[in-house]
Amino acid sequence: MASLELRNVVKRYKSQTVLDNLSLSVADGETLVLFGPSGAGKTVLLRLVAGVIDPDEGKIFIGGEDMTDLDAEFRGVGMAFQNFALFPHMTAFDNIATPLQAKRSSQGAMKAGVESVAKLLKIGHVLSHKPRALSNGQKQRTALARALVGSPPVLLLDDPLRNVDAKLRFEMRLELPRLLADRGATVVYVTQDYKEAMALGDRIAVMSQGVIKQLGTPEQIYREPANIEIARLFGDPTINLLDVKPSRDAKGIYVGLSNVQVHLTGAYDATVGRDCVIGLRPEALRFVDEGTPAAIPVTVEAETPLNEKIVTLVRTVRGREILVSRPAGTPGQTEGRANIAVDGKSALLFDRASGDRIGSKNVVNLRSGEAA
């Protein structure tokens, strides 16, 4: 098994800097999720680690060894591609067997190796098929099997669930963590799906425009997002963001929401009088009876029952729209006038100009790399 480290890696294409002085380390056996929009540099980062492209600056270490100048075939990593990249002229069996072939395994060992990983991924019955005859889900599993079969110490998975249907994606999201844990490999997993990121990652690195904006556990990213952008990307329904200007009274710092003073807990002293954005997770809002202190009067606009939760769109007296989420089966207002209460502890406050969260300790120092 092996740890993985990137040190001050820079990658440019023509005049465009795709990775900007990026440093990152992944502990032995850890699953790190690279999350971010297209063009953030996630795939480039994986390819640098795999050795199919070279960095312009910086070093890459696998298991403590400098691999920067080593060709892909000597790095001993396994990789699954977003577009599967199966060899179209080979059967699924031969596809999966390629890493074993490269190790000059015996025929018997090869057969045993392929069959055991195929059984694990439930594709044992299609091993004799060419990729063209496989369904998308089978292709994806074949690609995954090929990455896993050689038991590489480092596994790079480039959005492997991107091109499969929703049902299979859901299944794989449940299966993958166990599968990866069993292997004990160090995993770098790229995804654009926040649920996948939350489900699979020991830690999540949120990337944007070639830099890591935040690095932390799924819990940290969700509870303490470094900026508005990250807060918006994680969470379904999306976080409510309202423009506010905090003030101070005897009880502390508060923001005015529909003329109701909502007191915030946290070190927000410096925010008084500044233009801010308050972030309220839909599940941190509750319907309350009229007359409850600090209750905000709203009008219910629409209600969307999802399986496990009910999302209600409400409108405040000032006309701002807010989403409220509550577990299915719990009481709530379905129409007409209602009152909601805000949990001041879970509210997030962002600086409106920069978008950074106020009081965030978790922002990565963009130049020096490592997260706090």
Binding site for another protein (CB under 8 A): 47, 50-52, 71-73, 75-79, 81, 83, 85-89, 98-99, 101-103, 146, 150
Residue 90 Cβ, how far from another protein at the closest point, in Å? 9
Residue 89 Cβ, how far from another protein at the closest point, in Å? 5
Q: Which CB atom, from 105 or from 214, has the smaller least distance to another protein?
A: 105
Q: What is the greatest pairwise CA distance in the chain?
A: 79
Residue 50 Cβ, how far from another protein at the closest point, in Å? 5
Q: Which CB atom, from 73 or from 289, has the smaller least distance to another protein?
A: 73
Residue 178 Cβ, how far from another protein at the closest point, in Å? 24
Name residues whose C-beta falls within 8 Å of residue 196's C-beta, 6 or more positions apart in sequence: 33, 161, 169, 173, 189
Of 170, 173, 225, 196, the residue nearest 34 (C-alpha): 196
DSSP structural state of residue 62: E
Residue 355 Cβ, how far from another protein at the closest point, in Å? 35
Of 286, 285, 264, 284, the residue nearest 358 (C-alpha): 264
Cis peptide preceding 131, ω within 30 of 0? no
Cα separation of 314 and 336, whole Å?
10
* 136-148 vs 92-102: helix crossing angle, rounded to 10: 10
How far the first Cα of the chain sits from its last, in Å, is 26
Alpha helices in the chain (DSSP H): 42-50, 92-102, 107-120, 136-148, 166-183, 194-200, 218-223, 228-233
Q: Please work out, in degrees rounded to the nearest 5, the angle formed at the alpha carbon of residue 96 by the alpha carbons of 94 and 100.
A: 90
Strands 154-158 and 77-80: parallel
Residue 170 Cβ, how far from another protein at the closest point, in Å? 26
Residue 264 Cβ, how far from another protein at the closest point, in Å? 49
Q: Which CB atom, from 88 or from 329, has the smaller least distance to another protein?
A: 88
